[in-house]
Amino acid sequence: MPWDRNQMAARAAEELEDGMYVNLGIGIPTLVANYVGDKDITLQSENGMLGMGPFPFEGEEDPDLINAGKQTITELARTSYFDSATSFGMIRGGKIAAAVLGAMEVSEQGDLANWMIPGKLVKGMGGAMDLVAGVGRVIVVMDHTNKHGESKVLKECTLPLTGKGVVDRIITNLGVLDVTPGGLRLVECAKGVARDDILSATEAKII
Amino acid sequence: MKKVFKTASEALDGLLKDGMLIAAGGFGLCGIPELLIDALVASGVRNLTVASNNAGVDDFGLGKLLATRQIKKMMSSYVGENAEFMRQYLSGELELEFNPQGTLAERMRAGGAGIPGFYTQTGVGTQIAEGKEVKQFNGKDYILEEGIFADLSIVKAWKADDTGNLVFRKTARNFNPPAAMCGKVCVAEVEEIVPRGSIDPDHIHLPGIYVHRLIQGNHEKRIEQRTVRKREEA
């Protein structure tokens, strides 16, 4: 059985180590926060906050307190606030240990495309280009194939890139792949998924 | 010199010119200078270039200036929440210069700090790097990005004293300090103006040197994505 969204998030949470400062992207990456357990993880929200707390109780929403997905959130005892230039200073400066991000396509060289589909979807890159260029480790969490059943793990990305050679690890519903100098290396299969299942669902070369 | 004005329109009086470059603070609808945007709409100033991380939503924030077609060009990182924006952009009526969010923030900060350009790894190997100088430092490629020098900055803070010292609140700080810094003139709108001396000087986020005009007003502070959890989940 392939992993569902929550199982993918739980697997991604295993990548995070005690004491890390981490940035989680929108979508499945946001769910990773639910699975960090006892680990002391500080979440960064790139609109200007370290120490992001859970969603507020109904009636306690504060319009001055949102995350990078524009959702209302809460603060924690450890929370600090800062401006956007300072926020991206810590991202670009390599102070954030890891980012967990969604993707439309990833290539076997670790190229990432997740910000636009020419002619169709022109929303913008937000902070994704800064994150992949600056953080210590980039972990992509996404479905292995698109809704047409085509591989999202490719020899070359077809969409405009967010970053070139920036992805370290890919966690999909089928398993875990590492980007290495020789190509993609299969690290782990989801329970009940065989190596051959992953090979046949992947356009990129797995060594 | 008196910095405090009665209304947003009075605070903008004499500062507006068609074709000018305006830097605006805010992230999404959080911490946006909503009163000054309304005053820009009322002023009728046209052909604006606006540097702002987002473009508001259709009927709030910068979306209002898009609806009246007063904006010629946006410099932004994410515009996904605005259908009218998308329509104007895809039909070629509106120019759009995408900037990675951190690059946009640093371009504003740099402009305000007198730095005309800086090198960054952000965007290397992507569309963003096209036409930009590439330089190697320690074996890695970096691209040259330019500081933003705006004609006018419009920002929102929580509290000010009458000399323009600003205090922001929570994540409503976001782009406001760098946007304030990069303008020749900066107008700030705040929820409360207090007498000088009543804010601890150690707790001022942006010194009044960056703020030339100031208004106090009532803010709608609209929430874009209201997300909550149930009590029993606690």
- Residues of A in Cβ contact (< 8 Å) with B125: 111, 161, 163-165
CA angle B122, A202, A109 (to 5 degrees): 30
- Rounded to whole angstroms, the Cα distance separating A185 from B230 reads 42
> Which tens digits make up the pLDDT trace of B91-113?
999 999 999 999 999 999 999 99
pLDDT, position B18: 98
CA angle A197, A199, A200 (to 5 degrees): 65
B126 domain-assigned: no
B121 domain-assigned: no
Looking up residue B210, the CATH number of its domain turns out to be: 3.40.1080.10
Two tokens, residue B134: 């590439």
pLDDT higher than threshold 70 for residue B233:
no
Contact (CB<8Å) A63/B77: no
Pseudo-torsion of CA A148, A110, A35, A68, nearest 10°? -90
B203 domain-assigned: yes
Domains held by chain B: number: 1
- Rounded to whole angstroms, the Cα distance separating B56 from B81 reads 7
The strands making up B140-146's β-sheet, listed across from edge to edge, are B117-120, B140-146, B134-137
pLDDT, position A159: 97
Gyration radius of chain B's alpha carbons: 18
Specify the range with the lowest mean pLDDT, choosing from A67-81, A163-177, B84-98, B127-141. Answer: B84-98
CA torsion through residues A113, A115, A120, A122, sign: negative
> One-letter amino acid identity for A186?
L
B186 domain-assigned: yes
Q: Are strands A42-45 and A49-52 parallel, antiparallel or unpaired?
A: antiparallel
Q: Is B129 on the interface with A (CB under 8 A)?
A: no
Contact (CB<8Å) A72/B225: yes
Per 3-state DSSP, chain A is made up of helix, strand and coil in percentages (nearest 5) of: 20, 30, 50
Please give the span between the terminal C-alpha atoms of chain A, in angstroms, as a whole number: 23
Pseudo-torsion of CA B33, B36, B37, B41, nearest 10°? 170
- Residues of B in Cβ contact (< 8 Å) with A113: none
pLDDT, averaged across chain B:
96
> Which tens digits make up the pLDDT trace of B205-219?
999 999 999 999 999
- Rounded to whole angstroms, the Cα distance separating B126 from A146 reads 23
**What ipTM was predicted for this assembly?**
0.96
Q: Which of residues 34-93 of A touch B (CB under 8 A)?
A: 45-49, 54-67, 69-73, 75, 81-85, 87-89, 91-92
pLDDT, position A193: 97
CA angle B126, B109, A163 (to 5 degrees): 15
B136 domain-assigned: no
Two tokens, residue A2: 């392939």
* Per-residue pLDDT band at B68 (split at 50, 70, 90): very high
**Whole-prediction pTM:** 0.97
Interface test with A, best of B90, B97, B141, B171 (most A CBs within 10 A): B171
> Which tens digits make up the pLDDT trace of B145-168?
999 999 999 999 999 999 999 999
pLDDT higher than threshold 60 for residue B79:
yes
> Which tens digits make up the pLDDT trace of A9-24?
999 999 999 999 999 9
**Number of C-beta neighbours around residue B120 at 10 A:** 23
Give the orientation angle of helix A84-92 with respect to helix B101-112, to 10 degrees.
Answer: 120
pLDDT higher than threshold 70 for residue B234:
no
> Which tens digits make up the pLDDT trace of A33-42?
999 999 999 9
- Rounded to whole angstroms, the Cα distance separating B168 from B151 reads 23
B31 domain-assigned: yes
Share of chain B above pLDDT 90, in %: 93
pLDDT higher than threshold 90 for residue B81:
no
Go through the domains of chain A in sequence order and give each one's CATH number.
5-200 (3.40.1080.10)
Contact (CB<8Å) A85/B122: no
Domain that holds residue B76: 8-115+147-216
